Every structure is written in C-alpha cells, then in structure tokens.
A and B are shown apart, each in its own frame.
Chain A
Amino acid sequence: MKSAARKAGPAVGRGPARLAALPRVRAGRAIAVASAVLIAALLAGVAVGPADLSLPIVVRALLTELLPWHPALGVPAIDADIVWQLRLPRVLLGALVGAMLAGGGAAYQGVFRNPLADPYLLGVAAGGGLGATIVIIAGGSPELLPPAAFLGAACAVAVTYVLGTGTRVGRSPGSVGATASIVLAGVAVAALLTAVQTYLQQQHYQTLQQVYSWILGGLSLATWSDVLLILPYVIVSAGILLAHRRLLDVLRVGETEASTLGVDIARLRLTVVIAATLGTAAAVSVSGLIGFVGIIVPHTVRLTAGPSYRIVLPVSMIGGAAFLVLADIAARTVQSPAEVPIGVITALAGAPFFLVVLSSRRARQDLS
C-alpha cells in the first residue's frame, strides 16, 4: 500500500555479473541432426535409381566431374551422365523445392498465426496452376511453363494482398486485424483462379493429361538449368525469412501485443509474404504443385525440436529438403521404371509419420 511501499530499492539490473545467465533457445543440435539426415538423403538420392549403378561407380562419377584434373577414374560416360545429368540435378532440385516449401510454410504459419497455413495459402498454387494451364493449352513450349507459373503465382498473391489490406480492418492502426482479411481474400482469389483453370482444362480435354500431370507435381524433368533458375530465388527468399526469425517469435504473443512492443506488423507481414511468395512461386514453377510438405515438416519440427522460429525456420528448410529428396527416391523406385507422383508419396509417407508425431506426449502437452 502507499504507506507500506516506500522502499528506495536499487534500480533494476543491479550487478548483472553475479546473475545467472539467461537460458537461450538452442537450435544447434536440431540443425545438426537435420543436416545429417539431409546429407544422407542427398547421397541416397544420387545413389539410388532404375539404372543399377554401384556406390563406387556413383562416387567415381561424381569425382570425375568435381575434380576434372583427377586422373581418369574409369567411369563409363553413360554412367557419369546418369549420375551428373539426371540424378544430381534432380536431387538438388528436390532439396531446393523442399526447403522452400517447408520454409515458406513455416513462415506463413508464423506471420498469419495459423497452424493450417501452407505456402499456397494466398493463391500461389491456383495462380501457378492457371499460368501453367494457359501455356499448355496454348501449345506453348515447355520452356515457357516455369515463367508462366511463376507469373501466375506472384500475381495471385499480389491481388490477394491488395484486396486483403484494402479492407476496412486492413487499414486499422498498425494494420492489426488485417491478417484474417488477407487470408480470406486468399481463399476467394484461389477459388476464382481454380475455377478459371478448371474451366480452361475441361474445354481443352486433349491436353488434360498434360495439365493434370503438371498439377500433381514432380521432379522427373529436372535439369541443371532448373536448379540454376530457382537457386537465386531460394537463396534470397530463405535469407530474408531466416533474418526474420526473431520477429516471428515476437508475433507469437499476437499482433496487438507485438505492435505495442514496437513491431511494424504491416511491414513484417509484407516482407515475409513477398519473400515466401518469391521462393514458393519459383519452386512451383519448376516442380508443379507438391502438397503437404509446407504443413507437416514445420509442425514436425515444432513438436520435436521446439516452437521458437529460431529453430523452426532453419530446421524446416533443412528437413524439408531432406524430406522431399527422400520422397522423390520413393517416387521413382516404388513402381520402377514407372514413377508415382511425388505428391502422392509426400502425403502417403508424411501423413502417418505426422500423425505419430502428433500423438506424442509433447504434442499433447503443446496443443492442450
């Protein structure tokens, strides 16, 4: 009470030297484990395939290309080509796409504070699908597919964002409250574009198979040029998203409180959406629509390694890369020489695994 509390106590922070150090979020172990799994997955991805190449041949084929000054390693040219021109770009493309889908999903879940958010939330899939469909039914060359899908995806998200933030709630101070209207605008834009895409697809049934095959997604046509095409987008996007990991942690207390802590919510949201969209649109443009990665990988990381975005973002990217490489191995070996659509594998293998994680004790604690 007023009369009882007149102590002129020392200022807060007295003698910090004798204070116990504040416990830290430690991402190192989770990153190390995920990296080890990724390295194993990459090696397996290069080693496994319909052509029955032994591991020493694969290693020598890689060395032949990596160390051109090395004395002849005696690898048949066809084997070297299989490893270098078919398997390696496919494995690397899978890793980049997986990293981007999982990282984009984690970032969207953080910025929209919605556990069901995936990288396709704001219309990337519907826009990319429409772009690709238009090229296919117009008889455009396959080289036009990636730019058309990228353009469609990016435009869809831009329209969603403008519509979502242009609403009345979107213009409240600090744009707090705009999140829900952006997500709803995404639902509407995606529904509209999907309807147009479906209509075009049905009107041009002779290309139905081609369109459907693109929409199911896959890495079977991966080339080095695809890898080089999306690499800059992945590096920039992943870099920006990782740089925002602390701010995504601040958002865990909600937009209003984050705003009172000094976070410019509108700027944070826009930056994360642009970065995630560029990366995801680039991934979609070369791989089609591979579902499920963006949801199960980040949640698996959250439930096994911890919910801080200092862990979730980097480990999701590494784990997503490993997951998609492993899924692609299954896609091309289960019915070899035929291929199973990779989206089928990601759901078939990912869903049960995720359900096991979800039923763990930690998950029950975290979700209670």
Chain B
Amino acid sequence: MIVFDQVMVRYGDAIALAGISEKVESGEWLGVIGPNGAGKTTLLRAAAHLVRYEGAIQIAGQPAAGLRRRALARLVAYVPQLPELPPEMTVADYVLLGRTPHIGYLRMETPADRDICAGLLDRMGLSPMAARPLGTLSGGELQRVVLARALAQQAPVLLLDEPTSALDLGRRVAALELVDELRREQTLTVLSVVHDLTLAGQFADRLLLLDGGRAAAAGDPASVLRDEVLTGPFGAGLHVLTTPDGERVVTSRRIASGGASGQAAVDSGR
C-alpha cells in the first residue's frame, strides 16, 4: 500500500506537483494519466525518493522520508521510462542487480539470490537467454528483462513509468498482461504511467488524471475516461467511445466524427 498526503514537488520556482493526495491499496493498480508535463513521472520519482518533496508518502505503513535507500528499495521497485541497459551485461547479471537491496554492503549474491532470479527468468520465459548480452535482445525481450529485475527486488510496490513506450501494440498488451498477472500472483501495488489512455483504462483498477501538477480527476476508468473530464487536460481533440461490452476507447474527435468503428478507433487513436 502506498499513501500520498499533500505531496508537493518544486523544480526551482516551477511547481511540478501541487499537493497530491492518493491512496493505493495492496494489490491495486493505479494508472497515472495526463498530458505531457502534468507531473506523472514526478509523482513516481517522489515515491522512489528521487526528488525532494513536501508532504508525506507512506509505503507499507512506513513514512518513506525516514527510510534509508536500502530499506526503501526493499519496499519500492522503480522502472524508469528509459532504463539504462549496458549492452554487454548478460540477462542473468542484469536481473541479479535486482537483489541489491537484499545483499549486505560489501557482500556478494548468495545461492538463494541466484535461485530467486533463476525462478523469475523461468517464470517470464527468459531462461534460454540468461547468458545473452542485453545488446542482443529485442525490445519486447528487454521489457521483460527490465520487469524481471524490478521483481527480483521483491518489493510490494511497483512503479512503472510508461513501461511499454517502445513497443508495438501487440507487445504493449502482452507486457501489461504480464504485469497484471504478476501483481495478482504477488499482491503487488502497481503505480503505472500509461500514455495510451485506452490501455490505461483496460488494465488499471483506478485512474489518476493529472494536469499541471494537480489531480484533475481520480476514480475507476469509466468515471475518468469521459469526454468532459479529458477535455480540460488534453483539449477538445479527444473523444471517448464505449464499445458494446462496456470498454472505453479513447480516440481523436476527427476520426470519431468520421464514423470509424470501435476497433479501427482503438488502432488509430493511439
């Protein structure tokens, strides 16, 4: 569980987050959406204590501000938008980095650490490429490797900053499915920035819409993905369609007025 209480972040004179309060329960997936510069990444960086903030953040019942780096890393795993992937590092070594918060300062990995990582590679279908350098993997494979490293931290809270930005639609869905499966298996709390509003609505339990550092709306996808809610932050160019089975599809108004079908809108409204 993670609780934000009036969290404010300033970059110099600019206010990136203006007093966000939000509570994400264990096992819940909160999708953070909003236009560029809304403060989505800053919210995740505050949770990972990568920026200074005012207000309070509680993680698993503990105030995050008082935690040492190592203790925080056992509670929160953070996947940045563009993770640094040393091309010559092997998949196995990269995933083992996730065990860092559980290894003493000058100690080395134990067989138990290696077993946990071997289990993760197996679970995520990465075992055959354990010895391969990261530079030889495809975008989809890298996405799974990065996720495996985050999961190796065995932290109850997973922060994902636009985890699928570099992938095609099929792989985006596959990656989000995997996150969904894993968070259910391990009762993970997931905070995820997702630019694709349709996918955000399909996977997250709740959405937090940020605009100019403020919470413009929060709630279940059906209550947030509405024309009148999105128009303020995103402008009047968006339109929300509802498919026959109740899914919300966010597309552009131009295509909507052209009478496109729901599926065509999903594909082209991205």
- Nearest chain A CB to B74's CB is how many angstroms away? 7
Interface pair B177/A1, CB less than 8 Å apart: yes
Interface hits, B194-237 → A, CB 8 Å: 202-203, 205
- Chain A residues with CB under 8 Å of B182's CB are 12
Known contacts being A4-B177, A173-B51, A244-B106, is A20 close to B86, with CB within 8 Å?
Answer: no
Residue A51 is within 8 A (CB to CB) of chain B in the complex: no
- Chain A residues with CB under 8 Å of B88's CB are 306-307, 365-366
- Chain A residues with CB under 8 Å of B71's CB are 262
Interface hits, A1-49 → B, CB 8 Å: 1-2, 4-16, 19-25
Interface pair A307/B89, CB less than 8 Å apart: yes
Residue B270 is within 8 A (CB to CB) of chain A in the complex: no
Known contacts being A13-B116, A253-B86, A254-B84, is A261 close to B98, with CB within 8 Å?
Answer: yes
Residue B72 is within 8 A (CB to CB) of chain A in the complex: yes
Known contacts being A1-B203, A9-B185, A261-B73, is A256 close to B118, with CB within 8 Å?
Answer: no
Known contacts being A16-B118, A25-B93, A253-B83, is A262 close to B69, with CB within 8 Å?
Answer: yes
Interface pair A256/B100, CB less than 8 Å apart: no
Residue B14 is within 8 A (CB to CB) of chain A in the complex: no
Residue A191 is within 8 A (CB to CB) of chain B in the complex: no
Q: How far is the CA of A258 from the CA of B48 in the complex (A)?
A: 12
Interface pair A262/B101, CB less than 8 Å apart: yes
Nearest A residue to B119 by beta-carbon distance? A13
Q: How far is the CA of A67 from the CA of B87 in the complex (A)?
A: 52
Nearest A residue to B202 by beta-carbon distance? A1
- Nearest chain B CB to A82's CB is how many angstroms away? 43
- Chain A residues with CB under 8 Å of B121's CB are 19, 22
Q: Which of B70, B90, B96, B177 is within 8 Å of A262, CB to CB?
A: B70
Residue A274 is within 8 A (CB to CB) of chain B in the complex: no
Residue B52 is within 8 A (CB to CB) of chain A in the complex: yes
Q: How far is the CA of A175 from the CA of B77 in the complex (A)?
A: 19
Residue B151 is within 8 A (CB to CB) of chain A in the complex: yes
Interface pair B181/A21, CB less than 8 Å apart: no
Nearest B residue to A310 by beta-carbon distance? B108
- 9-residue interface stretch from B19-27, B55-63, B123-131, B259-267: B123-131
Residue A264 is within 8 A (CB to CB) of chain B in the complex: yes
Q: How far is the CA of A258 from the CA of B50 in the complex (A)?
A: 11
Q: How far is the CA of A6 from the CA of B183 in the complex (A)?
A: 11
By secondary structure, the B interface counts as helix
Known contacts being A261-B100, A307-B88, is A6 close to B80, with CB within 8 Å?
Answer: no
Nearest B residue to A17 by beta-carbon distance? B115
Residue B122 is within 8 A (CB to CB) of chain A in the complex: yes
Interface pair A22/B92, CB less than 8 Å apart: yes
Q: Mark B232-267, 1 if CB is under 8 A from A, else 0.
A: 000000000000000000000000000000000000
Interface pair B50/A176, CB less than 8 Å apart: yes
Interface pair B74/A262, CB less than 8 Å apart: yes
Q: How far is the CA of A6 from the CA of B92 in the complex (A)?
A: 29
Q: How far is the CA of A253 from the CA of B82 in the complex (A)?
A: 11
Residue B120 is within 8 A (CB to CB) of chain A in the complex: yes
Q: How far is the CA of A357 from the CA of B237 in the complex (A)?
A: 56
Q: How far is the CA of A137 from the CA of B184 in the complex (A)?
A: 74
Interface pair A8/B97, CB less than 8 Å apart: no
Interface pair B74/A19, CB less than 8 Å apart: no
- Chain A residues with CB under 8 Å of B173's CB are 1
Interface pair A264/B68, CB less than 8 Å apart: yes
- Chain B residues with CB under 8 Å of A16's CB are 115-116, 118-119
Interface pair B108/A246, CB less than 8 Å apart: yes
Interface pair A2/B130, CB less than 8 Å apart: no
Q: How far is the CA of A249 from the CA of B127 in the complex (A)?
A: 22
Q: How far is the CA of A252 from the CA of B149 in the complex (A)?
A: 14
Report 20 cross-chain contacts, Cβ distance below 8 Å, ordered by A residue.
A7-B184, A13-B116, A19-B121, A20-B127, A22-B117, A22-B118, A24-B92, A173-B52, A176-B50, A243-B106, A249-B97, A250-B97, A252-B84, A253-B97, A260-B48, A260-B50, A260-B76, A262-B74, A262-B101, A308-B89
Known: A174-B50, A365-B135. 4 other contacts (CB 8 A): A243-B106, A249-B93, A250-B100, A253-B94
Interface residues of B (CB under 8 A from A): 48-52, 68-74, 76-78, 80, 83-90, 92-94, 96-98, 100-101, 103, 105-109, 114-123, 127, 130-131, 135, 151, 153, 173, 177, 180-182, 184-186, 202-203, 205
Complex A-B, nearest 5 residue pairs according to Cβ-Cβ distance, in ascending order: A262-B73, A13-B119, A262-B101, A16-B115, A262-B70
